[in-house]
Amino acid sequence: MDSFIAVKDDNTMKLNKISLAVLCAISLSQQAVAADTVTDESSKKENIETIEVTGSYIAGYNAHSASGASRLDLDIIDIPQSVSVITDAQLQDFQLHDINSALDSATGVNVERIETDRTYYTARGFDITNFQIDGIGLPLTSGNNHADEDTAIYDRIEVIRGANGLMTGVGNPSATINFIRKRPTADNQLSVNATYGSFNNTRLEADGSVQLNDTFAARAVAVTQSKDSYLDRYETEKNIFYVFLEANLSDDTSLSLSHSYMNNDATGNNWGALPLFYSDGSATNYDRSTNTSADWSNWQVVKNNTVLELSHHFNDDWRLRATYSHKSTDEDTELFYVYGTPDKDTELGLTGYGSEYDFDDKSDLVDIYIDGNFSLFGREHQLVAGVNYSKMSYTDSSLYDYTTGNGFPAMPDLNTWDGNTPKPTFTDGLRGSDVERKQQAAYFTGRFSIVDDLHVIVGGRYNDWQAEGISYEVDQDADYQKFIPYLGAVYRFTPELVAYTSYTETFVQQTDPDTSGVFLDPITGESREIGIKGELFNGRLIASLAYFDVIQNNIALPDPATADLPIQLKRYYGSEGISSKGYEIDIAGEIYSGLNVSIGYTDFDIEGDDTVTAYTPSKLFKFAATYDFETIEGFSVGMNMRWQDDISRDQGVVAVGFDNAGAEIITEQDAYAVIDLMAKYQISENLGLAVNANNVGDEKYINSLYWAQGYYGAPANYSATLTWKM
């Protein structure tokens, strides 16, 4: 279990309720100063809106445009891929404060909660590794996300399903998640939210925006949250601070500097999860509160992200945008893993495994592009062209205890265990990684008007990807170049209805050696999609139906002949690959006056890997709806539901010595639905109250079978939020 990430935190910034109070006071004072400054309000609004348009104004659950698919300023209906948006209204209505709960609501996305503080994401049967911020980003270092990452700093979340070859180049044909950050608003504003809920969940959030004068504007968000858990011994404390400073240097040029800070401190977190079967092959059935963590377990994650942006309009048609981003992650952890197979009668047979794991990650990214409109053959067209450079480096280290006797203790019955085990002395078996990866890319996209109702998007991205270093005794040196084409077409049958098709390729580097010790060639893939989209009810609702066919080739699989060798001697071979075919339905917007909905259904089949096929739900249904009562002004109710079909995992066979020796052990999770409810009332112009109830059916389910272990989702829980705005 060497690849598990953890944290290093020096000079950790603490954010508390006093910090939030200071933020509120500063925001109020800045608003007062701004109010005394004599300016032309219409001019201010125009300046603030021309800085960077990444999407149109969003009301309710209907988003009309998305920027993460191509950097072209296109309506969602004109993008030849499946796109959905989790709007700010949806995030607020259902208190989706972390990205896991937010992506639970996204069409086609499956959130694989393998542990309390580590999560994988999949779509169309493939891991999602590409996460962007305002269209800029890198694949996750280890393919998964750590800690409880907050959504408070984001205005909305775009989900571009399928391969996104133009903007990312490297990654799976699954989806790209694009987080759009909050920016200064045209009007001064301040909001403060206070939440209290089950498991002693206490949260205070402040969000203020101020326009200081014609040139400068700022927005700041601060969050502090602490909560216990339905899991024994698990507690988290989270502090967030975000500031975005904006300067309109001229009518044509703007500059912004922003920084976000997140500190997530978890104690009692698990590493690995519960055993799911007994030695006789029968299924375990622990209480939902059962946790494998020791009472000294901890996992701290500190993330910083600084972004500098320059935008310049040459004229009404052409613009340049340059972005520099520096991100760092420091993780420090002391972890306790439980492995083995318990006996059904005694509940004994498990062993503990302690480890200290430190991780430091830094990335620098520069992206420069121009975009604009031009005329050719009497028609208007659009073009984007840019270059991209990124450098990411990380170091990690693992330590164990082989000498004191505390590193691998025999475990008691998990049903009665209180986490009490001597803390190991982590001084033995130092192992780790020191890796650097670079990517240089050039890309272009053209949207051409062929005839009045037909637009074709042609583009491509050339990637030069390099890596060097060592990770747990395995050489990471690699050098790959790849051109990734993109082709799409949109035909408009009527002003409200279009048909589209698209094709792109994917590329994922590999550092697994073949039988001769040479790295396997990269994983390559293709993604094809065809669909229809429509704008209904005068544009208040967008609906789409898509059929997709995606495939990846040359995926590394372990060579059975080297299965028992040390990790540095293991060898791999390239498989024929995995394919996924299916369809998606996505509906978002207002279907009736006051009734906003977000509906998504996905149905697909995976071929080529029986394990992936079994643990991946092939049918997903997402439904969110809120209704504003006309008869009771300011009162609304809503429901948020997710459903998935049954999943399973082959755990091997029953060992010799049992009557059913040799029988297959299959862990199964039946189909289930999780239903959340909400109600809110606007008490006055400035004050509102919301009540949320989650998992109201008190459904008991295993979060994920992505791994051979798992733990249960949260039982029914409740919260109340008081909101003050000015």
Q: Is the pLDDT of residue 8 over 50?
A: no
Of 307-316, 433-442, 568-577, 661-670, give the lowest mean pLDDT range. 568-577
Long-range contacts of 400-403 (CB under 8 A, 24+ apart): 400/354, 400/355, 400/356, 400/424, 400/426, 400/428, 400/429, 401/354, 401/425, 401/426, 401/427, 401/428, 402/428, 402/429, 403/427, 403/428
Residue at 34 is within a domain: no
φ, ψ for residue 448 (rounded to 5)?
-115, 135
Report the C-alpha gap between 434 and 377 in whole angstroms. Answer: 54
Band (pLDDT 50/70/90 cuts) for residue 27 is very low
Least confident of 122-131, 185-194, 204-213, 265-274: 122-131
Asked whether the predicted pLDDT for residue 5 surpasses 60, the reply is no
> Distance (Å, rounded) from C-alpha 638 to C-alpha 656?
54
pLDDT at 579: 92
Strands, DSSP E only, in 269-403? 298-313, 318-340, 350-376, 379-400
Considering only CA atoms, which of 109, 103, 63 is closest in space to residue 602? 109
Structure tokens given for 17:
């309720």
With H, G, I as helix, E, B as strand and everything else as coil, classify residue 228: coil
- CA–CA dist 134, 175 (Å, integer): 16
Lowest mean pLDDT among 11-25, 173-187, 404-418, 712-726: 11-25
Of 252 and 526, the structure prediction assigns the larger pLDDT to 252
Statement: residue 32 has pLDDT above 90: no
Q: Determine, yes or no, domain membership for 17.
A: no
Question: Comparing 41-55, 69-83, 192-206, 560-574, which segment has the lowest mean pLDDT?
Answer: 41-55
- The reported pLDDT for the residue numbered 564 is 64
Per residue in 133-166, pLDDT tens? 988 876 666 678 888 889 999 999 999 998 766 5
3-state secondary structure of 99: helix
Predicted pLDDT of residue 23:
45
Q: What is the pLDDT of residue 357?
A: 95
Cβ contact 12:149 at 8 Å: no
User: Distance between CA 76 and CA 65 in Å, rounded?
Assistant: 5
pLDDT of residue 552: 87
Structure-block tokens of residue 718 = 């409740």
Looking at residue 223, its pLDDT comes to 98
The answer to whether residue 266 is domain-embedded is yes
Q: What is the mean pLDDT of residues 462-478?
A: 86
Q: Distance (Å, rounded) from C-alpha 627 to C-alpha 596?
A: 7
Mean pLDDT of 330-334: 96
CA 530 and chain centroid, separation: 25
One-letter amino acid at 337 equals: Y
pLDDT at 170: 66
Domain assignment of residue 721, yes or no: yes
State how far the alpha carbon of 659 is from the alpha carbons of 282, 307, 350, 474, 654, in Å: 13, 63, 22, 43, 9
Using CA atoms, how far apart are residues 657 and 599, in angstroms rounded to an integer? Answer: 51
Residue at token pair 């909101």: 723
pLDDT at 21 over 70: no
Torsion sign across C-alpha atoms 46, 47, 50, 55: negative
196-201 long-range contacts (CB < 8 A, ≥24 apart) are: 196/719, 196/720, 197/227, 197/692, 197/717, 197/718, 197/719, 197/720, 198/717, 198/718, 198/719, 199/227, 199/228, 199/229, 199/230, 199/717, 200/226, 200/227, 200/228, 201/225, 201/226, 201/227, 201/228, 201/719
Q: What is the pLDDT of residue 45?
A: 36
Q: What is the 3-state secondary structure (H, E, C) of 181-207?
A: ECCCCCCCEEEEEEEEEHHHEEEEEEE
Examine residue 25 and state whether it is found in any structural domain, yes or no: no
Q: How far apart are CA 389 and CA 439, in angstroms?
A: 6
pLDDT at residue 391 in the model: 94
Instruction: With respect to residue 309, please indicate whether it lies within any of the assigned structural domains.
Output: yes
Token pair for residue 61? 């659950």
The pLDDT, as a whole number, for residue 59 is 56
> What average pLDDT score do residues 525-533 get?
92
Backbone angles phi, psi at 164, to 5 degrees: -115, 65
**Whole-number mean pLDDT of the chain?**
88
Over the stretch 627-654, which tens digit does the pLDDT of each residue have? 999 999 999 999 999 999 999 999 999 9
Identify whether 664 is part of a domain.
yes
| Spatial CA neighbour of 191 closest among 219, 216, 211 | 219
How far, rounded to the nearest angstrom, does the alpha carbon of residue 131 sit from its chain's CA centroid?
6
CB-based burial label for 486 (10 Å; 0-12, 13-18, 19+): buried
> What token pair was written down for 638?
């809503």
So what's the pLDDT on residue 106?
96
Residues β-bridged to residue 588: 542, 598
Give how far the C-alpha of residue 623 lies from the chain's centroid of Cα atoms, to the nearest Å: 19
Judged by average pLDDT, the poorest of 134-138, 247-251, 339-343, 614-618 is 134-138
State the CATH number of the domain containing residue 478. Answer: 2.40.170.20
Confidence band of 19 (pLDDT split at 50, 70, 90): very low
Average pLDDT over residues 77-88: 92
Predicted pLDDT at 64: 67
pLDDT of residue 722: 98
pLDDT digit string (tens) for 95-131?
999 999 999 999 999 999 999 999 999 999 988 988 8
Question: Worst-scoring range by mean pLDDT, 6-15, 472-481, 670-679?
Answer: 6-15
Task: Give the pLDDT score at 453.
Answer: 94
Domain containing residue 136: 65-725
| Residue 43: band (very low, low, confident or very high) from pLDDT cuts 50, 70, 90 | very low
List, for residues 344-360, the tens digit of each pLDDT value: 999 999 999 999 999 99
CB 190 within 8 A of CB 27: yes
H or E segment and range at residue 42: helix 41-49
- pTM, rounded to two decimals: 0.88
Token readout for 454 is 């037909």
**pLDDT-derived band of residue 269, with 50, 70 and 90 as boundaries?**
very high
Q: Hey, what amino acid is at 9?
A: D
Give a yes or no: residue 706 inside a domain.
Answer: yes
Q: What are phi and psi of 78, to 5 degrees?
A: -100, 5
DSSP code of residue 230? S
Query: In this structure, what is the dihedral angle of CA atoms 566, 567, 568, 570, given to the nearest 10 degrees?
Result: 90
**pLDDT value at residue 7:** 35
Higher-pLDDT residue of 55, 341: 341
Contact 123, 618 (CB under 8 A): no
**What percentage of the chain reaches a pLDDT higher than 70?**
88
Q: What is the tens place of the pLDDT at every residue in 299-328?
A: 999 999 999 999 999 998 999 999 999 999
Residue predicted with more confidence, 615 or 39? 615
Q: Is the pLDDT of residue 28 over 60?
A: no
567: confidence class by pLDDT, cuts 50, 70, 90: low
Task: Please count the structural domains in the chain.
Answer: 1
Distance between CA 498 and CA 172 in Å, rounded?
A: 27
